[in-house]
Amino acid sequence: LVLILDYGSQYTHLITRRIRSLNVFSLCISGTSPLDAITSLNPKVIILSGGPHSVHSPNSPTFPSGFVEWVQSNGCFVLGICYGLQLIVQRLGGEVRVGEKQEYGRMEIEVEKNLGILGNKKIGDRQVVWMSHGDEVVRLPEGFEVVARSQQGGVAAVENREKRFCGLQYHPEVTHSPEGMDTLRYFLFDFCGVGASWNMENLVDEEIKVIKGTVGPEDHVICALSGGVDSTVAATLVYKAIGDRLHCVFVDNGLLRYKERERVMETFERDLHLPVTCVDASEQFLSKLKGVIDPETKRKIIGKEFISIFDVFAHDLEKKLGKKPAYLVQGTLYPDVIESCPPPGSGRNHSHTIKSHHNVGGLPKDMKLKLIEPLKLLFKDEVRQLGRILNVPGAFLKRHPFPGPGLAVRVLGDVTEGNALDILRQVDEIFIQSIKDAGLYDSIWQAFAVFLPVRSVGVQGDQRTHSHVVALRAVTSQDGMTADWYYFEHKFLDDVARKICNSVRGVNRVVQDITSKPPSTIEWE
Ligand code: XMP
């Protein structure tokens, strides 16, 4: 295990992912975790991340006392990156100064010693790296040597081979450091002697073993499938482990896309053979949403209805089996886990609730279910890889995200008014199908149509019309936190708008949303 101690750098997740891409398992925990949280994971290598702090600020985060002694007596290797390097220097008796030479952005560094963290580079070899630091190392702790310096003469790489400590003042994990991956590779495989055995095939076998070992031979497990990638992959994995003792439910809340229920059920049943009960609760949801206009109220109603349906499902199952289900499967991913215990000073815990997001599968009130979260340590792209190994169809794995409250947040205002949902489904289908036909689906994070509660005047077949306006939204994004609108060619937009007005009765105007996030959000409600 390579353990990353997070001191709040925006690149910390990237370090974790880069190391995993080298087939080495890595995890990240808060940089101020107590010593036993670190030692209980028994890491072979520890990486101290960068961060926005200065080691001189009061309360700047640091590793616990006893850390260095534990590392020494357990043969562990340590790499400090940027702030992590400065922490090592300061805590081991060197000196860090508020920088005369601040270094930001692209820099050249030159190798001074050819026995080092930088591999078999020769003295005088140069490489381009990405720096971002205000403080600088001015005196190394005893036993440390400078391996490379920046073009301004600043310390860029250090090591103490005997103590197994290394440090880089720059960020090897970013693509702006072109030789950074080589450095990480050299550090892990040659310097630390780590093996590259972590991969998705092994992970499937391991996870199945863990699930089998956790769930008793008589225990039953339930799972709410949303039709999204995470819950589907999680359920498929659990099904491989315990077969028909898994019971899934898929809720049609009347807010699904065009033919969504049929398409999703086909994947569950035909491709994955998952035991799924499909509950048609559209009337129940829509009757509760009648007349509701406020977006947050809509979300809360939908969340509550999901839980009540899940509750009924679990109780019915209990009657049928003669015993309570013992576990609930959830498709929680690693970023959700990290976000819920953010490192100090990262600001990640100070965010405002912009919208109350919800996912299906809230815990029924009195079931006292234990959780199985088989994807808890994985990033989204790793879940997709896992899905591929589990034979989840590729097209399903690449689906754009779809919000839990479904089309309720894409019909502005009262979702039950007139045939708004029906119109929206038809428009959305034309838009998405056109995007697929044009080969653009995979370049877009999310695309959808929005039904606006306004009418405009038009002329169709020499007749004056007073019909609905729909908006098209397509965005690019890395994680949904920020987004830019997608630049379609005019010809494409022209074709789509024409097709919509010609084939969807009740629509006479199509507009495109060209705002980024921020200031907008991706969904309209
Ligand atoms: P916003 O609209 O907040 O959306 O910019 C960011 C991403 O989150 C999705 N989204 C949700 N997903 N439950 C979900 O599972 C929700 O309640 C929810 N609301 C928004 C949205 O589609 C986008 O991908």
| pLDDT tens digit sequence for 43-96 | 999 999 999 999 999 889 999 999 999 999 999 999 999 999 999 999 999 999
Q: Which domain holds residue 470?
A: 410-512
Q: Whose CA is nearest to atom 11 of ligand 1?
A: 403
User: Is residue 521 situated within a structural domain?
Assistant: no
For residues 165 and 65, membership in a common domain is answered with yes
Instruction: Please check if 125 is assigned to a binding site.
Output: no
Instruction: Please check if 231 is assigned to a binding site.
Output: yes
The yes-or-no verdict on residue 196 having pLDDT over 90 is yes
Instruction: Please check if 129 is assigned to a binding site.
Output: no
Q: Is the ipTM of this complex over 0.95?
A: yes
CATH at residue 105: 3.40.50.880
Active site residue 171: yes
The yes-or-no verdict on residue 375 having pLDDT over 70 is yes
The mean pLDDT value for 406-424 works out to: 97
- Between CA 422 and CA 418 the distance in angstroms is 9
The mean pLDDT value for 203-209 works out to: 94
For residues 264 and 332, membership in a common domain is answered with yes
User: Is residue 464 situated within a structural domain?
Assistant: yes
For residues 32 and 176, membership in a common domain is answered with yes
- Between CA 190 and CA 107 the distance in angstroms is 26
The more confident residue out of 184 and 349 is: 184
The mean pLDDT value for 275-301 works out to: 97
For residues 427 and 353, membership in a common domain is answered with no
Calculate how far, in angstroms, residue 264's C-alpha sits from the geometric centre of ligand 1: 20
Q: Is 295 in the pocket of ligand 1 (CB under 6 A)?
A: no
For residues 382 and 423, membership in a common domain is answered with no
Helix (H, G, I), strand (E, B) or coil at 267: helix
For residues 228 and 162, membership in a common domain is answered with no
The mean pLDDT value for 216-226 works out to: 95
The mean pLDDT value for 417-445 works out to: 98
Instruction: Tell me the best of 336, 475, 522 to mutate to test the pocket of ligand 1, counting ligand atoms within 8 Å of each CB and taking the most.
Output: 522
For residues 6 and 91, membership in a common domain is answered with yes
Strands (E), 235-290: 246-252, 276-280
Among 53, 133, 171, 220, the active-site one is 171
Q: Is 357 in the pocket of ligand 1 (CB under 6 A)?
A: yes
What predicted TM-score, i.e. pTM, was given to this entire model? 0.84
pLDDT (tens digit, 9 = 90+) per residue, 492-520? 999 999 999 999 999 999 999 999 999 99
For residues 84 and 230, membership in a common domain is answered with no
Mean pLDDT of the chain: 92
User: Is residue 402 situated within a structural domain?
Assistant: no
- Between CA 240 and CA 91 the distance in angstroms is 49
Q: Could you please report the per-residue DSSP string of 137-200? A: EEEPPTT-EEEEEETTS-EEEEEETTTTEEEESS-TTSTTSTTHHHHHHIIIIIIS-------H
Q: Is 231 in the pocket of ligand 1 (CB under 6 A)?
A: no
For residues 251 and 347, membership in a common domain is answered with yes
Active site residue 173: yes
CATH at residue 352: 3.40.50.620
The mean pLDDT value for 408-421 works out to: 97
By DSSP bridging, strand 221-225 and strand 446-460 are: unpaired
The more confident residue out of 276 and 357 is: 276
Active site residue 110: no
User: Is residue 525 situated within a structural domain?
Assistant: no
The yes-or-no verdict on residue 358 having pLDDT over 60 is no
**Boundary (domain end) residue, out of 148, 164, 191:** 191
The yes-or-no verdict on residue 365 having pLDDT over 60 is yes
CB 50 within 8 A of CB 171: yes
- Cβ contacts of residue 241 below 8 Å, gap of 6+? 207, 208, 211, 212, 215
Helix (H, G, I), strand (E, B) or coil at 329: strand
The mean pLDDT value for 359-379 works out to: 76
Instruction: Please check if 477 is assigned to a binding site.
Output: no
Give the ligand 1 atom nearest the CA of 523: 2
Q: Could you please report the per-residue DSSP string of 334-356? A: HHHHHHHSPPTTS-TT----SS-
Radius of gyration over every alpha carbon of the chain, rounded to an integer in angstroms: 27
The mean pLDDT value for 213-226 works out to: 95
Domain count, the chain: 3
**Boundary (domain end) residue, out of 126, 158, 191:** 191
pLDDT classification of 349: cutoffs 50, 70, 90: very low
pLDDT (tens digit, 9 = 90+) per residue, 125-147? 999 999 988 899 999 999 999 99
Adjacent-strand bridge partners of 107: 129
The mean pLDDT value for 171-182 works out to: 94
Strands (E), 338-495: 370-372, 446-460, 463-476, 484-485
Calculate how far, in angstroms, residue 403's C-alpha sits from the geometric centre of ligand 1: 5
User: Is residue 86 situated within a structural domain?
Assistant: yes
Instruction: Tell me the best of 357, 399, 450 to mutate to test the pocket of ligand 1, counting ligand atoms within 8 Å of each CB and taking the most.
Output: 357
Instruction: Tell me the best of 355, 475, 476, 525 to mutate to test the pocket of ligand 1, counting ligand atoms within 8 Å of each CB and taking the most.
Output: 355
pLDDT classification of 355: cutoffs 50, 70, 90: low
pLDDT classification of 204: cutoffs 50, 70, 90: very high
Q: Whose CA is nearest to atom 20 of ligand 1?
A: 403
CATH at residue 506: 3.30.300.10
For residues 224 and 338, membership in a common domain is answered with yes
Distance linking the first and last C-alpha atoms of the chain: 42
Give the ligand 1 atom nearest the CA of 299: 17
